[in-house]
Chain A
C-alpha cells in the first residue's frame, strides 16, 4: 500500500510557464511534507517543505500548497526554466525522522 502517490510519471511544460506537480497521501498522521529534486547520477536535493499547520509556503519561484482535507500537496514552479528539468519527489513524514516518498514525476521544460 503506497501511502504517498504521485500519479503523473511525467510532465512537459513550456519554458516560462507554470509547472504544477501533484502528490496525494493517505496517512492522516503525516505532519510534515517535503519536495526533492533529482538530476541523473545525483542524489535527491531538498527543495522546499511545509508543516501541516500551514497551507502554503513560498521560496522564490517555488511554492508548495497543502490541502489537508483532500490529503493533497502540490508544487508550483513559476516561471519554469530549462534547469528545472529533473525528477521531482514528494515526501511525507509522520515524525521520528522517517520519510515516505512518492515514486516521482519527471518534469521536462521545453524551450
Chain B
C-alpha cells in the first residue's frame, strides 16, 4: 500500500450505531488530519494530530471522537450521529516539522446517517 488509505470507503449507519473510520498513511509523515466535506461546502478541518498529540479540535461535537495510536494510524470513532453528519470524511497527512507543507489525502469515507 502506498500513500494514504481509508476504510471503509462507504458506510451507512443508523443514529444509534457506533462505528469507526480508519486511516493509515505509508508516507512516514508525523501529522495527520480529519476533514469533513458536506455537499456544496468547503472542506472543514475537524482534528489535527502532530506527533500523536491532538493539537487542533475545531469545535467538533463530542459524538466524533478521534484516536491516534501512532504516527501512521488515525481513527474517527462515531456514535449517536445525526443525519446532518452525512458527508465525505477525508483523512490527510503531512510532514509537520517543516512548517506548512502539502497535505496528502486519502480517498475518503462516504458516510450516510439514516
Partner of B45, one of A43, A46, A99: A99
Q: Report the stretch among B61-69, B79-87, B102-110 that lies at the interface.
A: B102-110
A4 part of interface (Cβ distance < 8 Å): yes
Q: CA–CA, A4 to B42, complex, Å?
A: 9
Task: State the interface size on chain B (CB cutoff 8 A).
Answer: 26
Q: A96-B55, A97-B94 are in contact. List 18 more A-B contacts (CB 8 A).
A: A2-B42, A31-B100, A32-B100, A36-B105, A42-B107, A43-B108, A44-B90, A45-B105, A46-B103, A89-B43, A95-B99, A97-B31, A97-B33, A98-B45, A98-B48, A101-B42, A102-B42, A103-B41
Q: B-side interface residues toward A, CB under 8 Å?
A: 4, 6, 31, 33, 40-43, 45, 48, 50, 55-56, 90, 92, 94, 96, 99-100, 102-108
